[in-house]
Amino acid sequence: MPAFPKFKTIITDYGKQRLIAAMSPGGTKLTLTQMAVGDGGGNPTNPDTTSTALVNEVWRAAVNSVTVDKKHPNIIIVELLIPAEVGGFWVREAGIYDEFNKLVAICSLPASEKPLLEQGSGRAQTVRMTLIVSDTSIVNITIDSTTIMATNEYVDNSLEEHEKSRNHPDATLTDKGFVKLYSGVDSLDETMAATPKAVKIAMDNASARLAKERNLADLTNIPLARQSLQLGNSATRNVGTTANTVAAGDDSRITGAMQKSQNGADIQNKPLFIENLGLGETINLAKNAVPATRRVNSKPLTGDITLSAADVNAFALGMTGDYTLENDKSVGWNWKSGVYNVPTGGASKLILHFNMNIGSCPAVQFCVNYKNGGISYRSARDGFGFELDWTEFYTTTRKPSAGDVGALPVSGGVINGNLGIGTPNILGGSSIVLGDNDTGLKQNGDGLLDIYANGVQVFRFQNDTLESKKSINVTGRLTPTDYGNFDSRYVQDIRLGSLQYGQVWNGPGFNDASGYVITGIINSNSDELVDGAHRRPIQKLIGNQWYNVVSI
């Protein structure tokens, strides 16, 4: 016999900690979200409380259901449904995971093959694990309706629960259901059915009514009925056009008559009606008449009146105001809109004034000089009026000067500050950069002009010299006008110096000396012995000075 049950379900150490924490005051309920199955690596498994994962997990999905056992309220049943289309593995172990994806419980299972449909066999398989807890309220009992598949047992339990409950729908005009009974005849509720008692009351009531098919022949007192209908004696008279008869509804005396209550609205041709009454001229005069009480800008219309532009809030065709204005600022912002003339010595200016008296800019003025002598404007602010002086418009005939727009004149000028051509200038001081913000010319003192490349000084020009801060690579030919500084540093010419003689026969001759060359051998008597030798020093010309060559 084995020392442990062959197949078992245990709660892991982590699961125990979650359950204990859930039972504490204010603890968070345990939510079981997923189940996984594994093949145990091909061998039976022996789960223990320290397990944190299956031996070899092969498939995982959301739990199909988490329920409390109907007969044992301390047992929680967790169910996983493996669909028929999932397979290709063996099932020897299963585990339950919480909302944090951690193993809460693990079990060993008898080996069961879950084939694939393409292997020739397929089935849906249910894996069910049961957990015994002291209080099931600490576990969220939920079923995710978006992921579950109903098992036969789940359906049977649901039907049994529904049968025992009172959760049954009532019948309606469109849906089936249970019907409520009602014995009254005064309800408009369409969800209740009438009892035989209610039907009897309705039938008794109907029997006391007039039958439609009898056409009032079942009336017991016809004169009283006629009186109740307030028909009077006309109900017993014949239709006709003579005395003691009733006119028919299509009688022309009725259909062609004007109705008093219409007050003439039923007159079909009103112009012809007016003409027949001889009122045509009167109506025409009335149409074009203006009431005597009408006024225009407080001027009555009882006689001829003269209206000015001000009477109808319009611009006058001529001048607004008079020549009493002192200057071109005399027209106030809240004056009436119009055209004002302002004398200026021997001439005058035209002030065109617009006043809305609302908004942030309630008024604007234009001041125009004669003969295209310039036009300016100024605008008011709120109720403060014209706070700034006139601002002149630049035109094709009154162009701004270079100074007016902060530009240099064509004839030249002074730029106060640095200049950047095609780029901002970061060299600073009195400098010009070209295309690159730190490459260009900069004046660094009196008589000092420096050239910079990428912020590094490479040349300096002074009034008497050019200084290079970097090495110079020359690809062409240098042709100076003064070779003096070059001549003093390289050999210009080579020559032999003064002649020296040395006695060889019965004499010392010459010792070996650097910088000399033998220029002659003497044998005056032409015998086998040399009489003497000549030598000269090798000399070089540097600048204006000849120097003996020390060594060759």
Q: Are residues 70 and 150 in the same domain?
A: yes
Q: Are residues 188 and 160 in the same domain?
A: no
pTM as predicted: 0.32
Same domain, 150 and 177: no
In a domain, 395, yes or no: no
Give the C-alpha separation, 50 to 53, whole Å.
9
Whether residue 127 is found in the same domain as residue 189: no
Asked if 38 and 159 sit in the same domain, the reply is yes
Flag whether 436 is in a domain.
Answer: yes
Do the domain assignments include residue 256?
Answer: no
| Cα–Cα dist 367/351, whole Å | 5
Kindly state whether residues 223 and 131 are assigned to the same domain.
no
**Are 156 and 196 in a shared domain?**
no
- Are 190 and 76 members of one domain? no
Among the candidates 198, 231, 264, a domain finishes at: 231
Instruction: Examine residue 117 and state whether it is found in any structural domain, yes or no.
Output: yes
13 shares its domain with 139? yes
pLDDT given for residue 36 in this prediction:
96
Distance between CA atoms of residues 384 and 178, nearest Å = 82
Kindly state whether residues 142 and 70 are assigned to the same domain: yes
Dihedral sign computed on CA atoms, order 50, 52, 58, 61: positive
pLDDT beneath 70: ranges in the chain: 1-5, 140-168, 171, 173, 177, 190, 206-208, 210, 232-235, 244, 247-256, 285-292, 309-310, 312-313, 315-318, 321-323, 484-488
In a domain, 110, yes or no: yes
Q: Among 468, 501, 528, where does a domain finish?
A: 468
Residue 389 lies in a domain: no
Clarify whether residues 121 and 193 are in a common domain. Answer: no
E strands, 45-145, are 57-62, 65-68, 75-82, 89-98, 103-114, 125-132
Q: Last residue of some domain: 164, 180, 208? A: 164
186 and 133, same domain (yes or no): no
Query: Does 365 fall in a domain?
Result: no
Domain count, the chain: 4
Where in the sequence is the domain holding 459, given as residue range(s)?
Answer: 419-468
Instruction: Look at residue 517 and tell me if it is in a domain.
Output: yes
* Cα–Cα distance list, 20 to 73, 138, 264, 305, 446 (Å): 19, 9, 96, 104, 89
Alpha-carbon distances of 307 from 297, 304, 311, 354, 445, rounded to whole Å:
9, 10, 6, 21, 79
Amino acid found at 263: N
Element (H, E) at 23: helix 13-23
Residue 163's φ and ψ, nearest 5 degrees, are -60, -35
**pLDDT attached to residue 168:** 61
Q: What is the per-residue pLDDT for 70? A: 86
Which residue carries 């942030």 as its tokens? 360
